[in-house]
Structure 1
């Protein structure tokens, strides 16, 4: 079942869209916190986004551009602002289509179906991300984003973070991490893992992420 995220400040219109799309069996989620749309997107991982231009705090152009940093998910702008400049800006920021208010629900549904069919029928990889406390790990391009800052991760850094962020609150033993990093019979000096973790911590600190990975003496590492 496809999941669609609706980012619309007009509660009445939002309700109408939900009612119209629910008839087609879509899994719908509506943004309530307009100050943290990016993290809501990461948490919900929708297959398609419907977004207005006029939103509280930041406009739809801003959030579209933020989403595009980590995902190629289809984005449809839905707005009463219909000048050529608005439409051009929507596409420039990463939008895939533009529907002008007032609109026909039938037209919107047709566009959604066409876009989902075109994008997902060919198995396009739209990105796989994990978020925790504002730290966003993009698995597909081996990058990490925090407060507008972005760093590229080495293969081992990605593997360490992926394991820890998939197991938030759980202590992962050093032996388990080493088995994942070096999945062969080669002998690995225990200090090699320490070096990798220390380098990762330094990379995180360079973009303002401190004490993200905790050491549990005699047990392993954990992200809380």
Structure 2
């Protein structure tokens, strides 16, 4: 049974979320003391976190930063504010998805199921290592390692890189990436993919590999490996 931590101060919404998610056999935990979010996170050790942006004391962005400093657990943001910058900020902080309130519960559940399936249902691939230039992509540790450097990726960033490397020197369309990541492109903003790819490229810049993820305008993205052209 997957454990979900819902960081939401609207108790009516939380209770409805818990009822619906429990129906799908998820073990759902909430927050009563919003000064102890990280304590609850450490005790529960959730498989996925759902965070509202507007919270008492500290906002959801703060808790996303705190969680990301300790864990790569999948994170879905909820927001009642109609600001595109909220989605961009959440993705830049390492969130995996973003849901605008009010939302249809079936849509949120579909996103939860897709994210859990993608993150936890490829145990064989987790142990696989892939090489790209002088770097090794370690699926077990969610990292890219070179002789001198090591960067950690979120699940989305890792999966995007995996798909691009599997199709080295070939264009991977945006639709292919969206469908691979989120199963149904009706449930995801096209901008979410752009933010994830840009965040991946920025991290790869730290080890000199960002320039090898190229954007093909109107088509998609390509992972270049010059020796294999």
- TM-score, normalised on structure 1? 0.55
Aligned to 2:214: none
Aligned to 2:89: 89
Aligned to 1:205: none
In the alignment, structure 1 residue 48 sits paired with structure 2 residue 48: yes
In the alignment, structure 1 residue 63 sits paired with structure 2 residue 63: yes
Between stretches 75-84 and 48-57, larger displacement belongs to: 75-84
Residues matched between the structures, number: 127
Aligned to 1:11: 11
Aligned to 2:164: none
Q: Structure 1: give runs of 5+ residues left out of the alignment.
A: 126-139, 142-224
Q: Give the SS at the match of 1:95.
A: coil
Aligned to 1:25: 25
Whole-Å Cα distance in 2 between the matches of residues 82 and 110 of structure 1? 22
Q: CA deviation at 1:82?
A: 3.1
Q: Structure 2: give runs of 5+ residues left out of the alignment.
A: 128-140, 143-229
Q: CA deviation at 1:65?
A: 0.6
Q: Deviations over 1:47-86 (max 9, x none)?
A: 0000000011100000001000111100000111231111
Q: CA deviation at 1:13?
A: 0.6
Q: Give the SS at the match of 2:46.
A: coil
Whole-Å Cα distance in 1 between the matches of residues 19 and 28 of structure 2? 10
Q: CA deviation at 1:39?
A: 1.5
User: Considering only aligned residues, what root-mean-square deviation do their CA atoms show, in Å?
Assistant: 1.7
Whole-Å Cα distance in 2 between the matches of residues 84 and 101 of structure 1? 13
Whole-Å Cα distance in 1 between the matches of residues 90 and 27 of structure 2? 25
Q: Which has the larger radius of gyration?
A: 1
Whole-Å Cα distance in 2 between the matches of residues 122 and 95 of structure 1? 20
Whole-Å Cα distance in 2 between the matches of residues 109 and 26 of structure 1? 11
Q: Give the SS at the match of 1:51.
A: strand
In the alignment, structure 1 residue 39 sits paired with structure 2 residue 39: yes
Which has more helix, going by share of residues? 2
